[in-house]
Structure 1
Amino acid sequence: MLWNIDLTLVDVAIVTRDAYADAFRQVTGRPLVKLAPAKGRPDSEIIFETLAINGIVTGDEHLPRFIDALAGAFATKRRRIDKDGRAMPGAKEALKAVSRIDGVVQSVLTGTIKNNAMLKLRAFGLERYVDFEVGGYGEEVYPKASLLQVTQGRVRQMYGFRCDGSNTVLIGDSARDVQAARIAGASMIAVASGHSTTAELHEAGADVVLQDLTETSDLVAAVTHLTSPMDRTAG
């Protein structure tokens, strides 16, 4: 089980934008005028577009510098995360319910860089259900579908059982998440808690669309329908 983070499990947009502004000033020496929209994209893409639309000519050194600055800026604001952000309705109960399914490993497939992903979930007590070591993150410069396959390889290596499209489920809120799952051959549970509508998520090809995560029985039923015990644990 791979979870998207922003607008699927948490909403910390205000803190994230402030961290981007601090990182931008640190890297460029200039104030941030315009932040590129997320739209389900990884931080690596957002960073490059943000630099471009603010008139910064980018080089190979910009991405690692900006990622380090973004991690540092976000860490300084960690006490604001739960104050100015929120866990999405039903997020903790959903993670807990899925953790009880036999043979399930839960991790993340997120556009957020790893350090910030961990801080976002820890702020709301969600980290206990997630294996961060096998996840996919925004500093890894892969298309999201390729990053999904990278995480499958990490699960195979760490847990020693087969992990492929037949037993991988992505849970996310954007049509971009759905497209990544489709390309990678994984199943997709879409949650209409972000900027994509229910109709857009269906049209993109989601296997199941939920309004939110509050009905944990519906989520568990969807997971068990899309996988089987043999698929989840086979070596």
Structure 2
Amino acid sequence: MAVRCAPAPNPPRRPPINRLVLWNIDLTLVDVTIVIRDAYAEAFRRVTGRPLVKLAPALGRPDSEVIFETLALNGVVAEDDHLPRFIEALAAAFADRRDRLAVQGRQMPGAKDALAAVARLDGVVQSVLTGTIRSNAVLKLKAFGLDRHIDFEIGGYGEEVYPKATLLQVAQTRAAARYGSPFTSATTVLIGDSARDVQAARIGGAAMIAVASGRATAAELAEAGADLVLPDLSNPSEVVAAVARLTTPAGSATR
């Protein structure tokens, strides 16, 4: 007599992805300033054949903008091939120094726990909105084990020649195509440390959690229009509560 087997139980359904959290990297999640400067100096030498005298400050700007200003500051007239050559050289120089990241750099207080805590929030996907070129962004986070909860496919990066607010919208479009949900100002949060991050959120369409771990003060971040200003990421419950409060997935009450 044939024995009937009970049907296998259906696997639990995962909640739909309907919250997008975008992280700035430098001085929000990690600080690898020494390695960045050294890699820029090497890239400048490879591209121009000259030593770097002055590096333009990042100030929340994309690498593409920093590269053009650095060339100008050092008396180099930018030509059409300078940007792609410099980006290629910067990626190679940074990769050559990857073993120095964890030694000469640091993860910002609470970064790993904050990323893990936000990942447990229903319906959330996390990525980056950063001035750093993509290959270097991946290396920065991997060096400190911060890449586990990041979907790098939907982020916005420094080689893309867009204003940061536009890049935010590009990241929303990428996330929508990948996960099948629209992402708007009601369902997107940017977490960063500069007034430029706040401006990008305000113009691009996202709520803003500012972290006073960079060069901007808490007062400056609040004045720029951040929805919430935290001293750092050391209280992950506070970060999660803020993300939950500032996002309203479809079907929920409007914030």
Alignment of 1:209-224 (within 5 A): 209-224=229-244
The reply on whether 1:197 has 2:217 as its aligned counterpart is yes
Matches within 5 A, 1:86-235: 86-230=106-250
State whether structure 2 residue 79 is matched by structure 1 residue 45.
no
Output aligned runs, 1:11-26, within 5 Å: 11-26=31-46
Shift of 1:229: 4.2
Determine the structure 1 residue equivalent to 2:9. none
Q: Deviations over 1:196-233 (max 9, x none)?
A: 0000000000000000000111111101110134379x
CA contact (8 A) 1:152 1:164 kept: yes
The code of the aligned residue for 1:72 comes to A
Instruction: State the Cα deviation string for residues 8-58 of structure 1 (Å, max 9, x = none).
Output: 000000000000000000000000000000100000000000000000010
**Residue 89 (structure 2) aligns with:** 69
Aligned residues of 1:167 and 1:231 also touching (Cα < 8 A)? no
Percent same amino acid at aligned positions?
Answer: 71
More helix by share: 1
User: 1:60: Cα distance to partner?
Assistant: 1.0
1:186 Cα deviation from its structure 2 partner: 0.8
Give the superposition deviation at 1:185.
2.0
Cα pair 1:166 1:231 within 8 Å, conserved: no
Q: Is this contact kept in 2: 1:81–1:123, CA < 8 A? A: yes
CA RMSD of aligned residues (A): 0.9
CA contact (8 A) 2:186 2:249 kept: no
> Equivalent residue for 1:82?
102
User: Structure 2 counterpart of 1:35, which letter?
Assistant: L
TM-score under structure 1 length normalisation: 0.97
The structure 1 segments of at least 4 consecutive aligned residues displaced by more than 2 Å after TM superposition are 228-232
Query: Which structure has the larger Rg over C-alpha atoms?
Result: 2
What count of residue pairs does the alignment treat as equivalent? Answer: 232
Distance 2:104 2:229 in 1: 28
Gap change, CA 1:178 and 1:231, over 3 Å in 2:
farther
In structure 1, what is the equivalent of residue 78 of structure 2?
58
Deviations 1:51-91 (CA, angstroms, capped at 9, x unpaired): 00000010110000000000000000000000000000000
Structure 2 residue runs of 5 or longer lacking an equivalent are 1-20
Question: Partner amino acid for 2:147?
Answer: E
CA contact (8 A) 2:133 2:159 kept: yes
Structure 1 residues not aligned, in runs of 5+ = none
